[in-house]
Structure 1
Amino acid sequence: MASRRRFLRAGAAGALAGLAGCSAVPAPRPMLDLTVSNVRDTAVYLGVRFFRPDVAERSEALVYRNSVEIPPGDSDDPWTAEDVVSDRPYRIEIEDRSARSSHHYHYRPDCSDDDPYDIGVLVRFNPDGGVTFSQTTCSSDAPFL
């Protein structure tokens, strides 16, 4: 028959083992900014959505949605939405409602959580009708798209 002392030792050992991995508090992830530059001659009526790629149900994967008119102009004064979502992988979908075209981009974080940095995605509406995406990169081998 197990003694009370043996029972308490086993319970304490189990509790310590269960809490061993919980001693570190995860640091909050930095927030991602979205910048849109329109160098076309006409305004762009933009719809933008961010989806988490690890969620199967599309309605549950949606983490950000916005509609905005981006006036024509040069790239010196882009439109920016700050702190849109935390720095995690996303599928970013943009829709140019005036041209009835849509594009998407797979964002993957490239910077370490240990180093402070400004992160963001830049969407550029080119004069030829195309769209270019780029993002903040920290590693030397990561392409700057």
Structure 2
Amino acid sequence: MPSRRRFLRAGAAGALAGLAGCSAVPAPRPMLDLTVSNVRDTAVDLGVRFLRSDVTERSEALVYRKNVEVPPDAGSDDPWTVEDILSDRPYRIEVEDRSTRSSHHYHYQPDCSDDDPYDIGVLVRFNPEGGVAFSQTTCSSDAPFL
């Protein structure tokens, strides 16, 4: 029959083994910016959503949502930007021109390592002919140009 002392010793050993890998504090990931450039003649009634790519339920995957009217750039060097939306992780980014009910999406994958200092972001460009183009910050030389 096990003694109380043996039981406590076994429990303490199990607890120490379980906590052995938890002593390191994860470094915070850099934050992601979103910039929207509207080169159309009229404002875009924009709906934007960021969804986690590792979750199957859409209600659980949604991590950011915003509706805003983005005016035409009209030669401005100051496009609509939201800084530090979310940490730099894979996302499905959905944008919708709510006035025309046209939607587009982009699969964002981080391209830079955590130890490289960099400004990360995604640029969404509403083209004059009605299309939408996405691009993102890249660090590796073999990353495709988007």
TM-score between the two structures when normalised by the length of structure 2: 0.88
Helix, strand or coil for the counterpart of 1:134?
strand
Deviation per CA, 1:116-138, whole angstroms, max 9, x where unpaired? Answer: 22111000011121110001111
The residue aligned with 1:34 is: 34
How much does 1:92 deviate? 0.6
Distance 1:26 1:20 in 2: 15
Correspondences of 1:65-144 after superposition (within 5 Å): 65-72=65-72, 73-74=74-75, 76-144=77-145
Aligned residues: 145
SS in 2 for 1:115: coil
| Whole-Å separation in 1 of the counterparts to 2:57 and 2:6 | 49
Give 3-state SS (helix, strand or coil) of 1:74's partner.
coil
Instruction: Please list every run of at least 4 consecutive aligned residues from structure 1 whose deviation after the TM superposition is greater than 4 angstroms.
Output: 1-12
Question: Equivalent residue of 1:99, what SS?
Answer: coil
Which whole-Å CA distance do the structure 2 matches of 1:80 and 1:60 have between them? Answer: 25
| Matched residue SS, 1:18 | helix
Q: Which moved more, 1:30-39 or 1:16-25?
A: 16-25
The alpha carbon displacement at 1:75 in A equals: 5.9
Secondary structure, counterpart of 1:113 in structure 2: coil
Q: Single out whichever of 11-20 and 29-38 deviates more from structure 2.
A: 11-20
Q: Which runs of 5+ in 2 are unaligned?
A: none
Q: CA deviation at 1:37?
A: 0.3
Q: Is the 8 A contact 1:38 1:74 kept in 2?
A: no
Counterpart of 2:19 in structure 1: which amino acid?
A: L
- Specify the alignment match of 1:23 in structure 2: 23
Contact 1:38 1:75 in 2 (8 A): no
Percent of matched pairs sharing the same residue: 88
Distance in 2 of aligned mates of 1:31 and 1:17: 34
Partner SS for 2:42: coil
Residue type matched to 2:80 in 1?
A: W
Q: Which runs of 5+ in 1 are unaligned?
A: none
Structure 1 residue 8 displacement after superposition: 5.9
Say which SS state the counterpart of residue 66 (structure 2) adopts.
strand
